[in-house]
Chains A and B, each alone.
Chain A
Amino acid sequence: MATVLQRAPSIGGFSRVVRRSYRVLADVPTIPLLILGVLAFLAVFAPVLAPHSKLTPVTPTAEQCQAKFSMASCPYVDNVPPFWMPGGTLDTPLGTDFLGRDVLSRLMYGARISLVVALTGTLFAGAIGTLLGVLAGYMGKWWDQIIMRVTDAWLTLPSLVFAILLSSVRGPGLWNVVVILALVFWSRYSRAVRGEVLSLRERDFVKLAEINGIGKPTIIFRHLIPNVMNTVMVLFSLQVGVAVIIEASLSFLGVGVPPPEPSWGLMMAQERESLMDGRWWLPVFPGIGITMLVLSANMLGDWLRVRLDPQLRNR
């Protein structure tokens, strides 16, 4: 005992902090974080990093025009293969699409669209759902009845079908997709948050706050919402992946992000014909992008869930 007490100061504050944060960081899933980091980096700095424009065709070289059209010059060369195939160049590493635009640049901007749409959509959904869930759980009575019955009805329709219905009246558009995601997914949060609040409101700190005459809005915002944040974070991280897939599906069906913009889902839809012509890589690249993004978001979400909710370990 005495030796421990003597040795304790000599360890020093700094190394202890290092050791403790190492223990927390040691089981952080590095691969998904890395993938997400790279994708986010590409998305944020796409205007700087992208070798070509996302909307206008790449200016072809004279040899390319000669090879493709037997002409000295041409406005663009479509369907240039990736660099490792015959006819590909390093100027357009992943080739060009059916309008002669650089696939790599479009993929980078596509990451931007996927991340922005999925994150903001999920964020709005989380905000609406959390607020309604806390209201239902804390206010009880008919607040609870109304909000939860509506939530149940909302959860009945599969999210993709609901999203398609809403997008048919809103029309295509990037921010329309965000609105649709928020409107479709809030019910997931309100359901989980309400359950949490039902047990929180019986706890001493809430009871004491009530006895002290603290108003309901303050209790909700100062005492309840911070305490449900763990649940919300876990749900958020798990919903982001779903949101990416819904955005891609809507764009694939032509009611998501409208055509000139390079949404991954849209790129896959536009290149379906290419598949039949043997240019398999054109729809596969955006597909790999979607899979990587969703996979790493889901892995992070699973990790968070285990980390923040010990009851769920081994599930």
Chain B
Amino acid sequence: MKKYVLVRAFYSLITLWLLVTVVFAMVRLTGDPVAMKAEAGADPAYVAQLKHDWGLDQPLHRQYLSFIGNLLRGNFGHSFEKSLPVRDIYFERLPNSLKLGFAAFMISIVLGVPFGMLSALKVNSWWDRGGKLLALFGLSMPGFFVGLVLMIVFGIVLGWLPVLGKGRSALVAADPSTWMTFWFRDWSYLIMPAFALGWYFSGAMLRITRSGMLDVLGSDYIKLVRLKGVPERMVVAKHAFKNSMIPVLTFAGLNLLIMVNVAVVIEVIFNWPGVGQLLYDGLSNRDFPMVQGVVLMQGVMIVILNFTIDVLYGYVDPRIRLSR
């Protein structure tokens, strides 16, 4: 187990290093970070000053080394607009994103898992067809369109839910006294963005549940359980369900983080102050360090989560940790 964890940690470090290198290289190869701040035709002296400030006038290897060195010290860059370290701003906003992510995650599970199970239990029935259609719509309707439709129907026409913003639902300043109540407050503001975000993932969840369930139902031990005369209801509820949840839960864990990350457009539409909106603010304020910093932070978080999932997997399933 110890060896397995060490090997996974090593791989994660390599992935992290490559990820950081890819970001460094792509940013400099495909475009010009300065171009965002200084448009074409800007004063050359100003451009030179910007390049100097960001260290872009130094040779590439020096830039690379200082880039890596800064990251190792936990320095993800300094926002122009707010003149604060990107890391601090990011962590201040993260709880809001997590709250939205959790809610969306619950919605995607509530929608995806039961329908996926039904589809798998009644292959080629109307349930199955309905489930396929739901999954297809989930994967085809962009979240921001779902969000707009929800806003029109529930916010404007029916007036049931607040259209924009966070109410007191979101944490704006990192005030420890509000930490506990924050999670349970003002859910009415959360329903629409969470649904718009969770919608897409419910389609994916449905498909994974369905195929996982089909795999399990076709396996030998289910056949054995059936041969022993266990009633079908028990076969499904006790034996098949648990085993089919393994791929679903792994996928779900990863999904949660991806949701936090791809919520940009949803957060912009609903004016939700999460990390996605930081990215958008960075774009519209022409604040390149902010954009790059947020992207790097997200990359680091994903690598860490992947590592955690790998380790948990190895802990739960000895076949995995012994095969490597």
Decide yes or no whether B141 CB sits under 8 A from chain A: yes
CB atoms of A154 and B142 under 8 A apart: no
A169 to B27, CA, bound (A): 6
* B123 and A314 contact, CB distance less than 8 A: yes
Determine whether the beta carbon of B30 is less than 8 Å from that of A294: no
Q: Counting CB contacts under 8 A, is B258 at the interface?
A: yes
- Inside 8 A of A298's CB, which chain B residues have their CB? 136, 139-140
A150 to B283, CA, bound (A): 27
What is the bound-complex CA distance between A245 and B265, given in angstroms? 11
Determine if B144 and A156 form an interchain contact, defined as CB atoms under 8 angstroms apart: no
Q: How many residues on A have C-beta within 8 angstroms of the other chain's C-beta atoms?
A: 47
* A168 with B36: CB separation less than 8 A: yes
Taking the complex as formed, is B268 at the interface, i.e. its CB lies under 8 A from any CB of chain A? yes
Query: Interface of chain B, helix or strand or loop or mixed?
Result: helix
Among A128-165, those with CB < 8 Å from B are 149-150, 152-154, 156-158, 160-162, 164-165
Cβ of B323 within 8 Å of any chain A Cβ, yes or no, is: no
Q: Which residues of B contact A245 (CB under 8 A)?
A: 142
B26: interface (CB < 8 Å): yes
| Given A161-B295, A168-B36, A169-B288, CB of A291 within 8 Å of CB of B19 | no
Return the contact of B261 from the options A158, A166, A171 (Cβ within 8 A): A158
Q: Which residues on A sit within 8 Å (CB–CB) of B244?
A: none
**Which residues between 271 and 301 of chain A lie within 8 Å of chain B, taking CB atoms?**
272, 275-276, 278, 280, 283-284, 287, 290-291, 294-295, 298-299
- B163 CB contacts on chain A under 8 angstroms: 276
Q: Which of B251-292 contact A (CB under 8 A)?
A: 258, 261-262, 264-265, 268-269, 279-280, 282-284, 288, 291-292
Q: Which 7 residue pairs spanning A and B have beta carbons closest together?
A: A169-B31, A153-B18, A287-B145, A295-B140, A170-B31, A294-B140, A153-B19
A-B contact pairs, 30 of them (CB 8 A): A149-B15, A156-B19, A157-B295, A157-B299, A157-B302, A160-B262, A161-B261, A161-B264, A164-B291, A168-B282, A168-B291, A169-B30, A169-B32, A169-B36, A179-B30, A241-B139, A241-B140, A248-B144, A249-B144, A249-B264, A252-B144, A253-B265, A276-B156, A278-B156, A290-B142, A291-B140, A291-B142, A294-B139, A295-B137, A298-B136
